[in-house]
Amino acid sequence: MTRYLALAADGDGTLTTRGSMSRRTVHALQSLLQAGRRLVLVTGETLERARGFSHVGLFHRVVAENGAVLLDPTSGKSRRLCRPRPARLLAALQARVWFLHAGCVVITGKKSQQKAIDRALTEIGSDWQIVLNRRDLMILPPGVSKATGLAAALREMRLSAEQVVAVGDAENDLPMLQCCGLGVAVANAVPLLKQSAAVVLRHKCGQGVVELSKRMLADDLPAPRIRRPCTTALGASARKLTAAPDRRTGNAS
């Protein structure tokens, strides 16, 4: 039996359904907190939406924008974990593809737009990459993932990846599951994630997290097995950005 010290969980489709978290899921997370475990929300949502999540105060850290931004809910301070979005990138993409939206770094759209976005990125000579999330997609700098964002959160919390259970439901959760001690998929996860996960839960979404929380508290989980470091995709310059907050402000730049 292995005692894991933290849970890193995806948001919608895992902890929540259409943005809402059930009372049972909230109580399960509170039970983990009472037992001294740490909680990290790792989401593709923009920083603005992550800040507005009604249960954000349950988490020690929030990784937003699929690894591009890190938020400390206690202090309210955030910081960018990658290079800034080029000033003209959003406008250049919006001139070629309809209905794109932006956060601090991430640009979001729909999976149905993937080919058009690919063409647009090629036309403007951008090296930004498309990350799929079920019917949605995100456009991000190369190397940015939930794993690299989680690496920054764990560094601030002084935890090792071996001590963390990661749970998710979609394609963009895969790097996070592979870099933690234990990767877990809820029952409603996409096939790709289920194939990679060390544990596939019997229940969907929040009820699956309730199931997982009980197993964490009972130390009833497999031993850690990390398949790749959290920082695998980051180059040296990006690793510097994830290493420590700006001591002058502590805020995202």
Where do we find the tokens 């001139």?
A: 95
Read off the DSSP letter of residue 244: S
CB neighbour burial string for 163-173, b if at least 16 within 10 angstroms, e if fewer: bbbbbbbbbbb
Q: What is the pLDDT of residues 109-125, one digit of tens each?
A: 999 999 999 999 999 99
Q: Which of 16-30, 72-86, 168-182, 220-234 has the lowest mean pLDDT?
A: 220-234
CA–CA separation, 239 and 253 (whole Å): 16
Identify the CATH homologous superfamily for domain 6-82+144-243. HAD superfamily/HAD-like (3.40.50.1000)
pTM metric for this prediction: 0.90
Q: Please name the amino acid found at residue 19.
A: G
Strand partners, 9: 41, 167
Give pLDDT, residue 243.
40
User: With left for phi above 0 and alpha for psi between -120 and 50, is residue 164 left, alpha or beta?
Assistant: beta
- Domain regions of the chain by residue span: 6-82+144-243, 89-140
- DSSP H or E segment with residue 185: strand 182-185
pLDDT of 63-85, one tens digit each? 999 999 999 999 999 999 999 99
Under 8 Å CB-to-CB from 236, ≥6 apart: which residues?
none
Q: How confident is the model at residue 227 (pLDDT cuts 50, 70, 90)?
A: confident
Q: Is the dihedral of CA 229, 208, 187, 48 positive or negative?
A: negative
pLDDT digits (tens, 9 = 90+) for 173-212: 999 999 999 999 999 999 999 999 999 999 999 999 999 9
Say which residue the tokens 């009820």 belong to.
Answer: 207
Tokens of 206: 């929040």
pLDDT digits (tens, 9 = 90+) for 128-163: 999 999 999 999 999 999 999 999 999 999 999 999
